[in-house]
Amino acid sequence: MQNEKIIFITGGTSGIGKETLKSLALTGATVVFTARSNEKGEEVKREILRETGNEHSAYLVCDLASLASVRACAEEFKNRYPRLDVLINNAGVMPQERQESKDGIELNLAINFLAPFLLTTLLLPLLRQSAPSRIVNVSSSMHKEGEINFNDLESKKGFDMYKAYAQSKLAIVLFTKKLAKDLKGSGVTVNALHPGVVGTEMTMRNVRAMNPILALLFKRMLITPAQGAETSVYLATSPEVAGISGEYFDKKKIVPASPRVYDMDVAEKLENIAKTKVLL
């Protein structure tokens, strides 16, 4: 049975994103996801129909490493759908070497922070109009290791994969806190989460780069993508979190975030830099 909700998720073709998509499809909502190609989008759409029976799934082709593609995706969504009840910024990367996006921006910063920052900003009018509505930002516990290095935000002076990733995941929690403050009273909530240490292809690539003993220990900590999707689904659908905003969740519970996420001066400075980079 279809419900009236329209849910949009980035990175819905693999890993945590695909499992989140499947769980949300089971609620009967219209689920829209981003895909890198029509071929992949059609493949996942067929899989969703086969496994959930939901005939109301759709995809938008979007390359999150391209700001122009993110803009086009947001525009297409607004043209096709009259409302947006839940936006889930799920997609993420953790490259082992320094790479740049189509716009020449370091890839962690581009995909893990600037893409969701731009997409959310462009869809905010629709989210406000659809209130009560929700924004869910997938971060990581590694944000606690992160620090916003304004002197070298794009790791041009030296690249450390963990530092660059942690910085980008701290940035998305800072954005969450700042946005929650700006949206107070609007009926739009925004929360961030740690999905757990999930055995996705991205994680396994990094495990393969470890020494064998460390890799073995790390593998024992891993949870499945379906388990990793549980908190995203909870934040997207549960009546228990209606009205809760600006929090950081792990295992469906509010947990302490890094003390750095409460520094609104840093959040504001980061927001201004982000606006400049995405040309807002």
Please list the active-site residues.
Answer: 165
CA distance 219 to 108: 23
Contacts for 205 with CB less than 8 Å, ≥ 6 apart: 96
d(CA 99, CA 83) in angstroms, rounded, equals 35
What 8-state DSSP symbol labels residue 135?
E
| Residue 211 contacts residue 268 (beta carbons within 8 Å) | no
Check if the beta carbon of residue 92 is closer than 8 Å to that of residue 115: no
Report the C-alpha gap between 76 and 176 in whole angstroms.
Answer: 24
Residue that is written with structure tokens 């890198």 in the block: 36
For 211-237, letters b (16+ CB in 10 Å) and e give: eeeeeeebeeebeebebbbbbbbbbbb
Strands in 188-194's sheet, in edge-to-edge order, are 57-61, 30-35, 6-9, 86-89, 133-138, 188-194, 248-250, 253-254
Element containing residue 165 per DSSP (H, E): helix 161-182
What angle do the packed helices 230-237 and 15-25 form, to 10 degrees? 40
**Cα gap 62→11, rounded to integer Å:** 9
